[in-house]
Every structure is written in structure tokens, then in C-alpha cells.
Amino acid sequence: VIAIMNMILHGIEAPNILHVNTLTENLADIQDKDRYDVILANPPWERIKLQEKEYFAARSAAVERGVAPAERRRRIAALARDDPATYQAYLRALRASSGVLRFLRASGRYPLTAHGDINTYSIFAELARALLTEDGLAGLIVPTGIATDDTNKRFFRRLMGEGSLVSLFDFENRDALFPGVDTRMRFCLLTFGRARQQAAPVFSFFARDVRDLRDEQRSFTLTADDIRAMNPIRQTCPVFRTRRDARVAAALCRAAPPLRAPGERAGAGASRWPVQITTIFHMTHDSSLFRPRPAGADWRPVLEGKMIGMYDHRAADIIVNPRNLHRPQQPQAVRGAQRLSPAFTPRPYLWAPSSVVEGRRPSGWSRAWALVVKRVSAATNERTVVGAFVPMHALSYTLYVITAPAPAGDFVGLAANLLSYVYDYCVRQKTTQSSITIGVLREAPIIPRDRYEQSVAWGPAGLSLIDWIRPRVLELSYTAWDLVAFARDQGYEGPPFRWDDERRFWLRAELDAAYFHLYGLHEDDVAHVMDSFELARKRDQRAHGVYRTKAAILDIYRRMAKAAATGEPYEAAIDPAPADPRAAHPARSAEEVAGVAATLHRALVERDVADARDESSARARGRRRSSDRSSASGDRGSDAAPPSGPDRTAPPGGD
């Protein structure tokens, strides 16, 4: 009925509506008489796989309120006894979705889009292409992931390789063009044909209104060769806000090769970073391994992405807000005395046995620390790539763990590159989802490892690039005793460095300016890259009245350029110099250092165990008071609720 009404409103008085299941048709059997000159569609945007939370949201509040996935599965199983009708309906829905998934993957009818976590819009896009006449055109409204997601790379590669893509105009939903869709959602107007249309289709990204498409600076063309150069592994579509962004990104890709995968032979221009990027603990599949309280001193905290910041492994505690039914575990930023104490460690929500943690180590990695990058992020955040060095605890799948068979001292160079503004800028052009993929990290251009062995252009003669970088990354990272093993592996025997916001600002500015030089960007392009970080600019302007970060980086960039041109070494922006012992906490004896890690861990365990006792006692007192009130009220009843007791919403104190 809706289809007929829509056709009549558009002047088609005798619409021919076909009622068929096109998804089950064999695309190879489509006859010419069944093809179309024009296809216009807004296909459904739904994952084929059954989503338990969404399914039960309108069917069973008891299941939908489950906090942890393991608890939700337990409640679903309990429905077989408590609500058999709902449980049987769930099983039928699960079988149906599983059957559709198996069909789409095994039938061979959708070779370009039936991969990974299949979404209906991808299948409909491939179907639309198959239904076109030789000269036909299709116009679809679909998520931008049709061109940028790894699962759709075969479809996009086919469109580009055959020259059948006409245009892709990407929109942000921030102005609620689709009121019922998340405002962070990105969608596009995709126009393509079945035969060759044009070698260089037109692209535009981050539009909020169709009027934005008239801005010539926001649209540009890309060829298949351009995309292969920028995204050599996946060959998905890069994302640029402006024509200039496309030009700068191309220059960066020419300046440095992509990060190579393990086992890849180091050919001409290879970066020689044989890295392994993995996730270790999956919070759903591994939930049975975790406990909200440690069962002993040999248990380790579960570190999550929301607990870390830039060069900061102690950015937040995890607190529990029982009133938030959907996301009760929330980060609470660490501030004040806790931030300044080298003995403070953040409070996790979950714990895992040390034996399990050791058994999940990345292959060949034996160090007591790791370099991690947050998986959950977006191109619209203040920073997209956020990472830190962390103790080798139970690292959740919200953190990418980056290891390599390389000397420990080399990792400070890799970290400085990954956490630089210029690398972040490259990753943003490839990210349209609310998470970074491993493929994106591998494809973004990165400074070759052998470059760090060469002399630094702006430093004193004989100083290597890695030796210039190391003290800066060391002071930024080593702010607490729980990373003492990392410091020792960098050749530093002193205590942690004091957390000093001003010093940290200048240390990071120096590293960022250095990498702008290493990538070979001109000063005006450096300014353009920094201007693309709008949230950083707004934060600085609120706090300082100017874009202080950009100004500092440009000033250091100029001084480095002058030093390289004149031979007069660049002088550090801070005094004392980076990683100077005067910037550190008081020293400790070797005996104290040897026992400090165990002492800190024991204190964290005891703190959580004590909290558990306090909560248990509070609940018991609440039950007794409730019982007393009920007895006193007799048949009158009582509306009074027992106190809930502490819920771990307050930050831990002390060192």
C-alpha cells in the first residue's frame, strides 16, 4: 500500500508493484526483460544476525535489563522455564536469522557483499546492480560503510575497477535528517551503473544538508589508482572533508609506506615494522573468566579503553551507576592528588586470574608492559587515535595490543608516530564508524623503522632520531610505579616522572612538530591539518582564547626548520630537559623498587575486597532495617525503601 501511494504521489498512476522475494532469486538467471533502467531505493539498514538486546527490549524487560552479556544469556535460558512462549519465539527468530545468514553466505548469489557481519543494505546494493540494464543507473540511500567498511570492500572495488560508480555524497545525521537514527550515523547518496560510467567519480563527505554539495571545495574526484595508493591493502574509500584534504593525504601516502603485517616481506619502501595488532580478552565471550572482585592476590585488573588517555594509563576509574540500566559501568576521570601520586592505580570493574592473563599473551611477547590503542573511537572525536603504554594486565577487546619482535627501545618511536596529530589525520580519512579497524591502522602511512637510526636533522650532530624521541615519550608515559618495567627496558633507572600538565603539553607539541617534519609537510599544510581538529581548537579557545596547541606546534616546527637549515641545534621547549631527573619523583632504593609493584597490586586488591565487605554489610543492615520497619508497621505496610549501600561510585582515595 505504501509503495502504491508513493508511486501515485510521484505521478505514476498505474504502478506495477511486484510482490517477490528478490533476495532469494539467482542473480545469474536474471533475464534482460527483468532488468531496469532506473532503480531508486532506500533499502533497510539492519544486521541479519539477531541482536539479543534489541530483540528483547520490547519483549522481556527482565532480559533486556541484563548488564553483562553472560547474565543476559543466563536470563534468556531461564525463559524456557519462566516464560516458555517468549523463549520459543526467540528460538524461532534465532533460527530464522541464522538460516538467512547461512543462505546469503553459502548460496554464492552475493559474492561481493555476503561477508562478515552482513547488513541488509549491502545485499540490496549488490542486488540493485544486478537488476540494472547495461546502461541503467541506481540511486540508493545507504550507510557510508558501503564504500568504507571492510566487509563491503569487494563491492566498492568492483564499482571503482569497472568505472561504474558515478558519485558518493556522504552526510552526517547531526541535524537529524533521519529523526529516528543516531545523530552520529553517516549515510550517503550512492549513484552507480552496471556498465562503465566514468573513470573518476565525484565524492563529498561530512555534508549536513544538500546545500553543502554546492560547495566546490567540498567535492573532489578519485580514480581507482588514487584509492589503491591511499588504501593499498583494503582498497576501500578514504574520507576527506575537502579537496585540499585529498591532496594532503596523497602527499602523506607518498612520504611514508603503510604499516606492514607480520610475515610480509620488506620490499622497496617497506616500513620494516613487523607488528602484530591483536585484541586479547572479549568482554562477552570471555565473561565467564572475569569477576567483579579479585579472588586473591594473583588476580589482575581488566583494563578497558575508557580507562586510558593519551600517553596516560591512569586516565579513569570505572564506577558503577546502578540507575543506568544500559551502561552502568562508566569512566570517572582521575584528577587531583590521585593524578599526582606515582603510587595510584585506577580502579577496574572486573578482574581476571593471572594464569589466564599469562596464557593469553600475544605470540612472542614476554614483556611486563604493552603498547595499546583504543579501538572504540571516531573521526568526529577530539582525537581519533588514543593510546598509551600499559602494564600487562588483562587487556579487553576495547584495546588494540601492538607488539613486534623488535628491541624494547624502538617502541617509543612507534608510539610517538601512532599518537601524533599527523598520523591521526591519516586515520581519520579512513574511519567512518565508531571504532578503528585493524585494517585502517595497517594502511595508514607510518615512518619507516630504519629512519629512527639516522641523525635527527634539528639536533646536535650524532644524535639519532630515536634518542631524541625516547626521553620525551618516557616522561609522558612513566608517571607511576606500575610501569617501572617499561622504564627499565628503556634504560632508565630512576623513579616515575611527576605529572605536570604544562610540561606534558610542550613534550607532545615537540613530538607533533617533529613528525610533521618527518612526513615532509610544508608549514601551510601543517596549519591545515591542525585546523581539521575542530574539537581541539574549540577546547583551546575556551581555555586560552586562542588555538594554543596549533600555535605551539607551528612555533616549534619553525624553530626545528631553522635549526636544520643553520646547523644550530634545536633547544627543548621546557627546562629542565625531557626526562631530566629533576622532573621525577624522589628516588627509591633498589629494594624498594623491587617490591613496589607487588605492594601496589596488593593495595588495589585489598581495596576492592574491603569494598565488597562494606557493600555486603550495608546490604545486610538495609535488610535488617527494612525488616524492622515492616514489623513495626504491622498490617499498615510501609513505603520506605531500604538504603542501597555504597555502589562504588566514589573514586578511591589515598596512594
| pLDDT for the residue 640 | 34
Q: Are 425 and 246 in contact (CB under 8 A)?
A: no
Q: Are residues 245 and 299 in the same domain?
A: no
265 in a structural domain: no
CATH of the domain at 41: 3.40.50
| pLDDT for the residue 596 | 61
Q: Are residues 328 and 219 in the same domain?
A: no
Q: Are residues 76 and 182 in the same domain?
A: yes
Question: In this model, does residue 321 exceed pLDDT 60?
Answer: yes
Q: Are residues 224 and 87 in the same domain?
A: yes
Q: Are residues 246 and 333 in the same domain?
A: no
Measured CA to CA, the distance from residue 605 to residue 351 in angstroms comes to: 9
- Dump pLDDT digits (tens) for 255-301: 998 886 555 654 444 456 888 999 999 887 888 899 988 888 889 99
Measured CA to CA, the distance from residue 647 to residue 131 in angstroms comes to: 58
β-partners of residue 58 are none
| pLDDT for the residue 246 | 92
- Dump pLDDT digits (tens) for 160-198: 999 999 999 999 888 888 887 777 788 999 999 988 778
Q: Are residues 411 and 296 in the same domain?
A: yes
547 in a structural domain: yes
Domain final residue, candidates 225, 255, 285? 255
How many C-beta atoms lie closer than 10 Å to residue 569's C-beta? 14
Q: Are residues 456 and 322 in the same domain?
A: yes
Measured CA to CA, the distance from residue 531 to residue 463 in angstroms comes to: 32
> Hey, is 317 helix, strand or coil?
strand
17 in a structural domain: no
Domain final residue, candidates 592, 617, 640? 592
Instruction: Say whether the peptide bond before residue 642 is cis (omega within 30 degrees of 0).
Output: no
178 in a structural domain: yes
30 in a structural domain: no
Q: Are residues 169 and 122 in the same domain?
A: yes
Measured CA to CA, the distance from residue 390 to residue 311 in angstroms comes to: 9
pTM recorded for the entire structure: 0.78
Domain final residue, candidates 255, 288, 318? 255
Please enumerate in sequence order all residues whose Cβ is within 8 A of that of 559, keeping only pairs 6 or more positions apart, or say none. 458, 570, 571
494 in a structural domain: yes
133 in a structural domain: yes
653 in a structural domain: no
Phi, psi of 192 (to 5 degrees): -150, 165
Higher pLDDT, 521 or 596: 521
Measured CA to CA, the distance from residue 293 to residue 352 in angstroms comes to: 9
Quote the DSSP letter at residue 380.
T
Instruction: Tally the C-alpha atoms within 13 A of residue 108's C-alpha that lie toward its C-beta.
Output: 2
Q: Are residues 187 and 303 in the same domain?
A: no
Domain count, the chain: 2
CB environment 434-447: b (16+ within 10 A), e (fewer): bebbbbbbbbbbbb
Q: Are residues 408 and 539 in the same domain?
A: yes
Structural domain range at position 201: 35-255
Q: Are residues 396 and 533 in the same domain?
A: yes
β-partners of residue 335 are none
Burial class (CB within 10 angstroms; exposed 0-12, middle 13-18, buried 19+) of 244: middle
Q: Are residues 566 and 426 in the same domain?
A: yes
